[in-house]
Amino acid sequence: MQSGSKAAATETAVEVTDLAMRTCGGAAFAGAHGLDRLFRDARAPIVMAPTSDQAYDFIGRALCGKEVF
């Protein structure tokens, strides 16, 4: 399911970049490693349509046999 893949990939990217930022500390926010851009980019799909919350709603509706749209 495409919505499920988007939501799972987004959550994984957020977890990975969050860990990278924590590991590198303040230097990561200063742009020394290029992680600041990845950190921001990983979070963009959370608010882009369909949002992760909408994707989970679509999946839940489909699994319950309800109309998705």
Residue 21: CB atoms within 10 Å = 19
* 7 closest CA partner among 67, 38, 47: 47
**Token pair 């992680």 is at which residue?**
35
Global pTM reads: 0.76
Per-residue pLDDT tens digits for 16-57: 999 999 998 888 888 778 898 999 999 998 888 888 888 889
What are the distances in angstroms from CA 66 to CA 1, 6, 8? 16, 21, 22
**Residue 69 belongs to a domain:** no
- The parent domain of residue 57 ranges over 2-63
**Residue 26 belongs to a domain:** yes
How high is the pLDDT of residue 39? 92
How high is the pLDDT of residue 27? 85
Domain count, the chain: 1
**Residue 68 belongs to a domain:** no
How high is the pLDDT of residue 48? 85
How high is the pLDDT of residue 1? 56
Quote the tokens at residue 44. 């963009």
**Residue 18 belongs to a domain:** yes
**Residue 10 belongs to a domain:** yes
**Residue 7 belongs to a domain:** yes
Q: Per-residue confidence at 12, pLDDT binned at 50, 70, 90?
A: very high
**Residue 57 belongs to a domain:** yes
